[in-house]
Amino acid sequence: MVSVPGELAPPPRIVDWSLFAAVGVAVATGVTSFWLGHPSDAAVFWIHAVAGLSLLPLLAAKFRRVAGRVRDRRAWDRATPLSVCLAAVAVAAGATGVGWALGVTAPLGVWTLLNLHILFGLLVGPLLLVHLRSRFRPLRGRDVRDRRVALQYAALVAAGGATAWILRRLAALLETPAASRRFTGSRELDAGSDLPVTSWVVDDPAPVEPAAWTLTVDGRVARPLALGVDDLQPATERRALLDCTSGWYAERDWRGLDLGTLVDAAEPTADAAWVTVHSVTGYRWSLPLPEAREALLATHLSGERLDHGHGYPLRLVAPDRRGFQWVKWIERVEVRRRPDPRQWLAVFVSGFYSSG
Ligand code: HEM
Ligand SMILES: Nc1nc2c(c(=O)[nH]1)N[C@H]1C(S)=C(S)[C@@H](COP(=O)(O)O)O[C@H]1N2
Ligand SMILES: [Mo]
């Protein structure tokens, strides 16, 4: 390891509090990134990369400081094992993040390296909080006022940004699987291959019986509608990109009904502002009305009638939204004044109580 002259090493409490800040920003942006799929959200992913990459030199500085104490078993106290565990998980989170950015593939079954990264990332926060119960030291004014600290911060952020950029160039240059990554980090699925059947948590309903199925359009509308499978007239074609949070994307041709036309046929009232699309499982998501007008209720994928796994008889195609928001097995379109807050729970638990 490169040794830093003593007078250049940042004060210990600055290193510790910077680690705290970097973890906070990385976890906050990592979690929010799940709900972001529009190109205008790209900055959040860059901030995540910079925070995540800044963590690595900070961890190196910290390890250099505490190495002696960790190597000497007599210096251990009750909190030391957890600290060692935290260090390992933080390094694993950073390493899997870098690995994902470089295009590393891991033989993890249905899991991607990104899924593993998210698991480590989510573990860091709670471990850090427990760590702080025994190791908390307040930040002192004289540490913060040190002029070198501002410079070191600027260098850290600049190096993080440069490294993130280099990782992208490197993945492209070496033509690794990450060469095709979007700003979300997702990699392209082969154009020829079938779209995988994907569940966000455990949604797995029985196939929808067309004779027993109706699509209801209700809520803030003057003329609620009920349509059967034979009433669906799939007249709109749309090429759209599905970007799943487990790290893949695929552009495909979809055909179906224009969601805007359907909502307008039900005559939304003056206060209508959101459209919530419900699945037979209770799974649901809401779109602002103007965005819903751009969305499709698909009946066909790549020219073929949807099969059960992809959401027969009807599934949402919501461009620039993440895959988990593309609700499958739709049975209800609800026009509302506000988004449905229950969606935040429903997407996580629907599969546990809906009949399978
Ligand atoms: C301490 C915790 C974390 C660290 C140190 C960390 C670090 C990293 C790093 C270094 C990268 C690659 C950066 C790059 O693109 O060049 C990355 C990518 C990514 N991380 Fe994290 N991360 C953490 C937590 C999380 C969490 C909690 C989530 C989600 C819940 C998450 C989601 C992602 C995603 C989606 C990417 C791919 C986006 C991209 O490649 O730009 N991360 N992370
Ligand atoms: N009702 C319902 N719709 C759902 C899901 C789900 O679990 N339940 N999974 C979502 C997720 S995570 C993704 S990525 C896409 C995947 O669509 P596909 O299975 O057609 O590839 O569907 C979304 N629609
Ligand atoms: Mo997904």
Is pLDDT above 60 for 98?
yes
Q: How far is the CA of 170 from the centre of ligand 3 (A)?
A: 27
Domain enclosing residue 329, as ranges: 210-349
pLDDT of residue 109: 83
Ligand 2 atom nearest to 316, measured from its CA: 24
- Closest protein CA for atom 11 of ligand 2: 324
Q: Tell me, what DSSP letter sits at residue 3?
A: P
156 and 88 housed in the same domain: yes
Among 32, 104, 117, 157, residue to substitute to test ligand 1 (most atoms within 8 Å of Cβ): 117
Q: How far is the CA of 131 from the centre of ligand 2 (A)?
A: 37
234 and 277 housed in the same domain: yes
Q: Tell me, what DSSP letter sits at residue 243?
A: E
Distance between CA atoms of residues 88 and 73, nearest Å: 18
Do the bridges between strand 330-336 and strand 315-317 make them parallel or antiparallel, or are there none, so unpaired? unpaired
Structure-token match 């002029």, residue found:
147
> Residue 298 CA to chain centroid, in angstroms?
24
173 and 214 housed in the same domain: no
Side chain identity at 3, as an amino acid letter? S
2 half-sphere exposure, CB direction, 13 A CA radius = 5
pLDDT of residue 108: 84
Strand partners, 279: 330
Shortest-distance ligand to the CA of residue 246: 3
Whether 16 contacts 137, CB under 8 Å: yes
Ligand 1 atom nearest to 245, measured from its CA: 35
Split at pLDDT 50, 70, 90, the class of 141 is: confident
Q: How far is the CA of 63 from the centre of ligand 2 (A)?
A: 42
- Closest protein CA for atom 1 of ligand 2: 328
> Which of 185, 200, 225 lies at the terminal end of a domain, its last residue?
185
Question: Could you give phi then psi for residue 91, rounded to 5 degrees?
Answer: -65, -40
108 and 232 housed in the same domain: no
Is pLDDT above 80 for 70?
yes
Question: Could you give phi then psi for residue 109, rounded to 5 degrees?
Answer: 70, -130
Q: How far is the CA of 197 from the centre of ligand 3 (A)?
A: 9
178 and 216 housed in the same domain: no
pLDDT in tens, 156-213: 999 999 999 999 999 999 999 999 999 999 999 987 788 999 999 999 999 999 999 9
Mean residue pLDDT across the chain: 93
pLDDT of residue 355: 56
Q: Does 202 reside within a domain?
A: no
Query: What is the end-to-end Cα distance of the chain in Å, rounded?
Result: 55
298: CATH: 3.90.420.10
Ligand 2 atom nearest to 244, measured from its CA: 14
Q: How far is the CA of 247 from the centre of ligand 3 (A)?
A: 8
Tokens of 66: 């505490």
